[in-house]
Amino acid sequence: MTALTRAAAAEAVSPLGWQVLLSTLAASVPVPSLGQGLAAAVAAAEACGADSDHLRVDVRADRVELVLQTPGSLPTERDVELATAIAQALAGLGMEIAPGTGGAARPAQQLEIAIDTLDRSRIKPFWAAALAYEQSPGVEDELVDPARQGPTLWFQQMDEPRPQRNRIHFDITVGADEAQPRIEAALAAGGTLVSDEYAPSFWILADAEGNEVCVCTWQARDRS
């Protein structure tokens, strides 16, 4: 399966309402009831056919969260095909994917917890055991929940300690159009902008006590 650049994947799926979140395609579908949510999940699974291993579904009474990913890969041409097929199947049920910002459902997003470390190999086994997590396929610095319910835990290798700085922070990855509204909302709620040096890949924000979160997008991450 041919892997795409994130920019190419975004160009293909954004008109359908899907968001590129690092290595995944994600969509949030508002529904009026749990029964309708289950119907949406079935339609999505049927649209994937034999490639249902690409799809993860979280069904709630008010929305359905869909995630597409080729295991161990960036978004592929097949993921784009599946996103298109799912959007068409949902349209047949009278359902639409929520827009990237606003809408009835929370915009699609992905939460990760990052730990700064001087020795990744020394502390990863502890966290894997404590959380019952496993090594992420093809990504050495990540642990994932095998049930794909909890957030990814990734380990940021450091060359030297960072004094007076948090060693654990959150990364929230959102669609490209959602980043600025999310940042503005956080700043209006009492946060501060610590750094935009790496924007639009990520911005570092902090609360009033200095606890940090990175608002991340897929942008500026593809290798040239």
Query: For the structural domain made of 109-216, what CATH number should be given?
Result: 3.10.180.10
Rounded average pLDDT over 148-165 = 84
Q: Residue 224: what pLDDT?
A: 44
Does pLDDT of 164 surpass 80?
A: no
Instruction: Please write the tens of the pLDDT for every residue from 96-147.
Output: 998 876 655 678 899 999 998 989 889 999 999 999 999 988 788 999 999 8
The class (CATH top level) of 6-92 is alpha beta
Q: Given pLDDT bands bounded at 50, 70 and 90, which one contains residue 160?
A: confident
Per-residue tokens: 145: 């929940």
Q: What is the arrangement of strands in the sheet containing 19-21, beginning at the earlier edge strand?
A: 19-21, 24-30, 63-68, 55-59
Enumerate the domain spans of the chain: 6-92, 109-216
pLDDT at 102: 61
188-196: long-range contacts at Cβ-Cβ below 8 A with a sequence spacing of 24 or more? Answer: none
Q: How many CB atoms lie within 10 A of CB 165?
A: 11
Q: Give the model's pLDDT for residue 209.
A: 84
pLDDT of residue 158: 85
